[in-house]
Structure 1
């Protein structure tokens, strides 16, 4: 009986029809995830008049969304490694779409807030399962490129949501009951669901990850999935057996002798969660988890933390008529002008257009990364983009002029935003299958902590201590650059699984 390593089998099967179907389903799912994460912010602002959302309540909503994602991340990572990637995605997707559609009907702020908190809990499981699932059907050498291709749909979402908002938000509300008026922001939340519905149908028709099956000792099921993949990729008459493969192996397979405490029925859920994740901080895994988790914190805080404030920066640089001033001087002038919005709930064409332009820049950056991956190592690209971010942050201290300032700001926050998924691809490569979802979940959880801290930090300091605010991010990106130098090169030092 010929036993073959699963990564060798995936390399022999290549990237064919099966992988394309799975990639397309996961990419559409990523589109929906981004719609929920990005669209809730736009819908929240647009709902300001209907639900009486002032600045304080906006802060509550942002904090609650991030908190729900932070609290639920590790639970979803544990579930994914226990029940499977596909099953987790289907549960998380169904609950996210149901709760999101219900949130569009909420008559007051507190019910809307509670509902969006629950949406955040479930969309977290969806976000982290997508990367794990698509990577486990892809040969190691193609994983970074495939993950970046999936990220194209993040940029697409950042264009789609404001484009739909431009069409819907100017439309008048239609009252359907005494307590609920069918406002345009409610329709926007429903329009964001369409990619999720398509993705749910596609993923429902897909098989479970063969690596997950092997990690739970279901060899026959894993063989059947790869055999189906073989027929789709090579032709219906070609099977694994015809290729001389009788059995699939996973070198870093889950040990059959699990600790008694984990399998005991008397073990608490929290204790089981800790014991199952404990190997992440032991042995070979400790170094790479430490590096990747810290990088997720720094890249999330710079990328997402500054992106949240991008429209505000655009508005300030446009309104203040001091074109020769540096950014921090503009902030100081703006704070003295005491400018307020005409309407709290108003999202004008200029702001929505800025969102779309930013989305186009992110999409273009993802495309550039995918092209660079054809010639350069993943580590080299991370070094290059982090260096660009550091230089742009330093230039913000001296740059003058509307367009120059915006270019420097974009170059500070877009590179870390667009490269953080490459760091997650390192985790997927170096961590064994039985721990992979937990590792991705924990890294994304720490990243979201960084985003929340960065959002609050910028909000409290960027008008009063602008110089400290932006130079702190330069220091953060320098730290990121040092950590990246310690990462492995693509397949160097990466164990098979």
Structure 2
């Protein structure tokens, strides 16, 4: 027997749960999948995808943008190779430290508000980082950036999925991968255009010299700021609202999406009653949870939701997911984070040797890296060579983004014609 909720239009209180035998035959009763499919696919979905694309560019700027500014920021901030490694890693440390917190916030307060707030804070932190005058200040800000941006990185995907039915959900998830890969083409392009510029402004009586790499960091903050602004115009996830028993509001959201997508009056939306296919409904809304319980109790309830992940039967599956994700990111990110520095090192070594009329024939990459490391450690700079690298060769990383984007695009096409289960590992 299935349980459903009748929605009362006279009150915002949760409708009582009743059992009926004719749920399937009643055209005004539907579960989430049927209800979301009847809203159609139109303007709302396209605008949501556009906003997700802008937000994805924003968090990709956080994850990958640092590697492009390091060769140029080296002189201003007196960075060693160790410092550069820490700056590349600290964002991921911040993400790891806040991952479970964002999952709890997402399931407690919904999707839209945490995403909006996180993008706004991320933009402010990035703007502040463009004024950083020391390695330690930049390191702390980048840790905070990673701590904050971890939320939108995962929540945007859930938010997108919960506004799409089964027929388009897999394709939309692949689109988020395309957005990320496209961002990996855009970010090096921005670095290539902005960082080599001879821009320099003295601020606060010369205390801050605002040059091109700082402008690059400022520009990288704009996608997150724009995404935060655009998110204010969207609605809360109807699936989340159903999960916390707020079916009245879920119906209103579905009606609004239906009106925007179809151009018809919201009252013509055919579904009047939402039902749950599974009896796993959270009885308390987030506001009631906080009002009726202490913060400690709320945190304990949050950890109680996480504990099943580390117990049978979920533990083997979650470990498999962790291993796959770790291996994928380890292979993808390790070299990618250092490519701009490697290219800058090659350019600097070539420039130094040519200025000394020394041939570089037969010199390996290891020789170049070792020579540059020695110079950095002993702070030896030959006259005329101690410059900040603004090499144009770093644009060579752009084809990598193009190659990553193409498989994701073709995968989304395959998902439209084949069952999703055929692509999953059982």
Change (3 A) 1:75 1:16: same
User: How far is 1:145 from its partner?
Assistant: 1.3
**Deviation by residue 1:139-173 (Cα, 9 ceiling, x = unmatched):** 12322210221222222322222222222222242
5+ unaligned residues in a row in structure 1: which ranges? 324-329, 382-483, 489-497
CA contact (8 A) 1:45 1:345 kept: yes
**TM-score normalized with structure 1 length:** 0.67
5+ unaligned residues in a row in structure 2: which ranges? 1-5, 7-27, 351-359, 377-384
2:13 corresponds in structure 1 to none
Change (3 A) 1:133 1:361: same
Provide the rounded CA distance (Å) in 1 between the counterparts of 2:316 and 2:169: 21
User: How far is 1:311 from its partner?
Assistant: 5.1
Instruction: Name the SS of the counterpart of 1:222 in structure 2.
Output: helix
2:305 corresponds in structure 1 to 276
Aligned residue runs from structure 1 range 159-170, under 5 A: 159-170=185-196
**Deviation by residue 1:203-236 (Cα, 9 ceiling, x = unmatched):** 1100000111111111111110011112222332
CA contact (8 A) 1:48 1:344 kept: no
- Find the partner of 2:259 among 231, 242, 263: 231
Change (3 A) 1:43 1:81: same
User: How far is 1:175 from its partner?
Assistant: 2.0
Choose between structure 1 and 2: higher helix proportion.
1
1:479 corresponds in structure 2 to none
Change (3 A) 1:264 1:338: closer
- Find the partner of 2:393 among 350, 363, 367: 350
The reply on whether 1:304 has 2:346 as its aligned counterpart is no
The reply on whether 1:174 has 2:217 as its aligned counterpart is no
1:360 corresponds in structure 2 to 402
In the comparison of the two structures, how many residue pairs are matched? 373
The reply on whether 1:265 has 2:294 as its aligned counterpart is yes
**Bigger CA drift: 184-193 or 296-305?**
296-305
CA contact (8 A) 1:45 1:344 kept: no
1:134 corresponds in structure 2 to 160
1:63 corresponds in structure 2 to 89
CA contact (8 A) 2:70 2:341 kept: no
Largest Rg, 1 or 2: 2
The reply on whether 1:156 has 2:198 as its aligned counterpart is no
1:84 corresponds in structure 2 to 110
Provide the rounded CA distance (Å) in 1 between the counterparts of 2:102 and 2:166: 24
Change (3 A) 1:113 1:315: closer
- Find the partner of 2:126 among 90, 97, 100: 100
User: How far is 1:283 from its partner?
Assistant: 6.4
Provide the rounded CA distance (Å) in 2 between the counterparts of 1:284 and 1:110: 44
Change (3 A) 1:146 1:86: same
User: How far is 1:287 from its partner?
Assistant: 5.2
CA contact (8 A) 1:54 1:344 kept: no
Instruction: Name the SS of the counterpart of 2:172 in structure 1.
Output: helix
**Bigger CA drift: 286-295 or 91-100?**
286-295
Change (3 A) 1:343 1:8: farther
**Bigger CA drift: 331-340 or 282-291?**
331-340
**TM-score normalized with structure 2 length:** 0.77
- Find the partner of 1:222 among 250, 258, 274: 250
Provide the rounded CA distance (Å) in 1 between the counterparts of 2:90 and 2:422: 37
**Deviation by residue 1:282-314 (Cα, 9 ceiling, x = unmatched):** 566555434323321222222223433445777
**Deviation by residue 1:12-66 (Cα, 9 ceiling, x = unmatched):** 3332222222122112111111122211221233211111111121122223222
Aligned residue runs from structure 1 range 412-423, under 5 A: none
RMSD over equivalenced CA pairs, Å: 3.2
Provide the rounded CA distance (Å) in 1 between the counterparts of 2:119 and 2:45: 21
